Amino acid sequence: MLLHKVYHRFSLIPVRSFPACSAFPFTFSSFKFSSAVHASSFLRNSPKLRRKMGVAADSRLSKLVPVASVEDVGRAGNGSAGSPVADEENSSTGAGYCLPPPEIRSIVDAPPLPALSFSPKRDKILFLQRRALPPLSELARPEEKLAGIRIDGSCNTRSRMSFYTGIVIHSLTDNGTLGPEKEIHGLPEGAKINFVSWSRDGRHLSFSVRVDEEDNSGGKHKVWVADVESGKARPLFQSPDIYLNAIFDNFVWVDDSTLLVSTIPLSRGSPPKKRLVPSGPKILSNEQQNVVQVRTYQDLLKDEYDAELFDYYATSQLMLVSLDGTSKEIGPPAIYTSMDPSPDKKYLLLSSIHRPYSFIVPCGRFPKKVELWTVDGKLVREVCDLPLAEDIPIAFNSVRRGMRSINWMADKPSTLYWVETQDGGDAKVDVSPRDIIYAQPADSQVGEQPEILLKLDLRYGGISWCDDSLALVYESWYKTRRIKTWVVSPGSKEVPSRILFDRSSEDVYSDPGSPMFRRTAAGTYVIAKVKREDEGTYILLNGSGATPEGNIPFLDLFDINTGNKERIWESDKEKYYETVVALMSDQEDGDLHIEQLKILTSKESKTENTQYYIQNISEKSASQITNFPHPYPQLASLKKEMIKYQRKDGVQLTATLYLPPSFDPSKDGPRPCLVWSYPGEFKSKDAAGQVRGSPNEFAGIGPTSALLWLARGFAILSGPTIPIIGEGDEEANDRYVEQLVSSAEAAVEEVIRRGVAHPDKIAIGGHSYGAFMTANLLAHAPHLFCCGIARSGAYNRTLTPFGFQNEDRTLWEATNTYVEMSPFMSANKIKKPILLVHGEEDNNAGTLTMQSDRFFNALKGHGALCRLVVLPFESHGYAARESIMHCLWEMDRLVLQKGNHCLPVEVVDHLGKKASRKNFILHQDRCCDNEKYMITTFFR
């Protein structure tokens, strides 16, 4: 009985068998523990079953003998010997992980390009080497789900962390070319590298290193440093028993030779053990009758044992350590969440969380204490101690009461600034001012009042510091989409603050750009001022340059006093898409000279992948510094076009249409088409119709991208805009279904009109809110699509009663909206095949795995053609190679390839005559090896 229950929870959910000529053919093999691997997967997921079978809860199931796979999954360390893999001919549903066709596999397995990091003085560049997709065995390692975060106890870090496999240094010559390669050496074999950072003078690197233990568990992180000149790496601490605690902040450079490190306390013992008999019931009370509305957060603390585990793993001891290995403890052990040295290196701003904890909100809302310490370990004062914040209203722009956004001013030696709300944190309260910004030196005297920098009527959104004469302050309000930028003079109270920009955040055409920053000698970043011959005060504005023809990024020289601007750089708009990445002439204090201005840009086209260049603005010259190979040359000649069309209510819509290489609609005829999208909310039709993105951007293809099906001959309509508009006092979601269907109809009509998509072979798909969209379209627009792919979605909005996505009304305030938007409530209307995929360990608020479980049961209860694939160990996004490959196999099987069955040649004609009645179409250009059987493919 127990195994029967486990089977139904963790298998691929058996449904009725279909005949060989079925529109959506698949069968299910009977369940049995046929190997130690299969048993291990169930044991890992069922603590109850482990106890009944006498398996310890913390046993290393990876030691079980793996079954031999049909095809080796593990290339270059990517595979997992413990994951059964079925080949394409033997993948009858649930016997193991399956692989998509080779043309898709080759793209997914392409080696990733390195990440780049420039030195503070911009004279060296790091190439941080990365691996391809991780094996499932890494995700299968035990993890603790505590207070909204997931912890790998064996590493004492957040679980499922990616890492670098190596570090290579290149010098950057004066002419913009790269010097010889120098590899960081001295690392242990199999080192996994994280948290790479430069010292302020650029002479050293710091990073963490861990090496897996013999039992395949993750080893704890140690802090290492490397000399940039020699490339020699070594451990930072002299003692081998000091490990990094990276649950929250990990380490930071205080000066050129000293780091502040969050370590695991040496006095910490073994993890607490759960009591067999609880000390009492779990009690939640609201006897004070407080109004507490929270969204559906996951991984919360469940009981006192969870709270003890959270204390155990998250508590750290701060240590100040020099490059020579000498160290000193700073403060008592606590759950430190951030540590920020002052620009003058005299003070430390330390934030920590403490009890009482909550069972209904994540740790970001736990009581928070902020303290000011000297670098030599003396407490200066407590800045604030904020109480538990369970009752933050769900309305957008609501915030925590009390001091927030406490930081150092970037242009001062040691001055703090922060914000305090005047509306109790409730966005529904109408008050003026709504936020006040304060500032105070670290060495201020007891009782000295802070200075008021600015009062805001909207919600504070950040500050860009420059100097005493200039800072830019941002405020915004979601309901109206209004955003303002203020110019203030922090050091001159006589100079009044003034509004620089006042615009709609949705209006991308009016976006003036963002200021560029230079790095100071103290290691902070301030707005870069630019000198030229006249006496104006100029800054650099870097913008995306949205236009009706697509984005044309730019760099403007902007006079902050007059508002005049001069375009000093602009992307090529005919063939290339270029963006400004960073300033390359920012290493000195003071204003930059326009004649010496250098910038780092990226450059790409539809068929050329991104490369990086150093541009000399005055000389108008560019030097290419990278030459990355094309990641998928088999699709190098794909066709890409940004298309425009209209919805029936006149709203302008856009999408990106991709066509396979060498495809000619006039000769080849319409193709199967996959539409992949994600809805968005807007306050105006004009904003909804604006063009976003560029037709010249490189077609980046991730491991779960819809563009993978270009390799299978599909046309892909990527990101068709599906605006849900609520103008004035109207709420967008009150007409969600109507606008969703109208947008989808316009997109489908356009690809059919262009002759690129077969009207009976158009599939719809999406992830998360895109999955919600997919299910709704199959329910309310069944005439548009032949099938749907819904990954990691939420389908019943009554299970997210206190808001979801951009809806901040509760279920009780907008009952009809919640019900009408939920495809779960329309499961009886879904007649087209739908593939549901969900990570079994989804941690995203609202998209619990239960959402797909219940939706599948509702569909099955009405006889729908449906399939649910639950990916073990996966979260909201999918990470393991086995999971991703299997997900792609499932998608390919639904929208293009075969089922499990072949049809004898002699019945082809008979079935062909009844194709419309049987709702399938014969795909006759693919045959089995012996050419005796025709493969059927379902499209409608």
Of residues 114, 115, 122, the one with CA closest to residue 198: 122
Q: Which of 46, 119, 768, 852 is catalytic?
A: 768
Q: Which of 876, 883, 886, 892 is catalytic?
A: 876
> In Å, how far are 298, 585, 659, 673, 765 from 748, measured between CA atoms?
37, 49, 15, 10, 13
Beta bridge partners of 168: 127, 183
State both tokens at 33: 């523990």
Of residues 137, 23, 139, 120, the one with CA closest to residue 82: 137
Beta bridge partners of 158: 151
Cα atoms found within 13 Å of the Cα of residue 535, Cβ hemisphere only: 0
Helix, strand, coil: what percent of the chain each, to 5? 20, 35, 50
Instruction: Let me know: does 822 contact 807? Beta carbons within 8 Å.
Output: no
> In Å, how far are 350, 400, 819, 890 from 385, measured between CA atoms?
12, 12, 42, 51
Cα atoms found within 13 Å of the Cα of residue 932, Cβ hemisphere only: 1
786: three-class secondary structure by DSSP: coil
**Residue 876 among the catalytic residues:** yes
Distance separating alpha carbons of residues 682 and 731, to the nearest angstrom: 10
> In Å, how far are 265, 353, 367, 402 from 334, measured between CA atoms?
10, 8, 13, 22
Give the single-character DSSP code of 617: T
Distance separating alpha carbons of residues 547 and 558, to the nearest angstrom: 20
**Residue 767 among the catalytic residues:** no
List Cβ neighbours of 501 (8 Å cut-off, separation of 6 or more). 483, 484, 485, 512
Residue listed under structure tokens 């902040």: 249
State both tokens at 195: 């948290």
Q: What is the DSSP string of 842-867?
A: --STT--HHHHHHHHHHHHTTT--EE
Q: Which of 299, 586, 842, 892 is catalytic?
A: 842
The angle subtended at Cα 511 by Cα 510 and Cα 513, nearest 5°, is 145
Of residues 426, 487, 414, the one with CA closest to residue 453: 487
Of residues 343, 254, 260, the one with CA closest to residue 526: 343
Instruction: Let me know: does 231 contact 185? Beta carbons within 8 Å.
Output: yes
**Residue 842 among the catalytic residues:** yes
Instruction: Let me know: does 211 contact 190? Beta carbons within 8 Å.
Output: yes
State both tokens at 198: 């430069």
Of residues 325, 318, 313, 363, the one with CA closest to residue 341: 318
Of residues 573, 576, 580, 612, the one with CA closest to residue 597: 580
Distance separating alpha carbons of residues 739 and 855, to the nearest angstrom: 23
136: three-class secondary structure by DSSP: helix
Which residues are catalytically annotated?
Answer: 768, 842, 876
